[in-house]
Amino acid sequence: MEWTAYIWIVATFAIFYLLLIRPQQKREKKERIMRNSLEAGDHIVTIGGIVGKIISVKEDEIIIETGADRTKLTMKKWCVQSKETQDEEKK
């Protein structure tokens, strides 16, 4: 009877891993790859909703240009939420 309790505990951890932990790790890996592949000229959206074009990329910082007055902002790479693709830019 004791071994069935262990099976339930192991099964619970396996379910948590497959449904919660593993998908989160995949998402984080995808974001890390995207942030490491940023280059000058890419159009990005930050976590705060700022849209801009990357002017310069350093090790852990980027400089983006945003707005009609071409304001330059220095930001950390971790604040980039998404990178717009060429198809999205043409629309």
DSSP 78: G
Could you tell me which of 65, 57, 60, 52 has the C-alpha nearest to residue 40?
57
pLDDT in tens, 11-65: 999 999 999 999 999 999 999 999 999 999 999 999 999 999 999 999 999 999 9
pLDDT in tens, 63-88: 999 988 999 999 999 999 999 875 55
Global pTM? 0.72
Which residues touch 35 (CB under 8 Å, ≥6 apart)? 77, 78, 80
DSSP 77: G
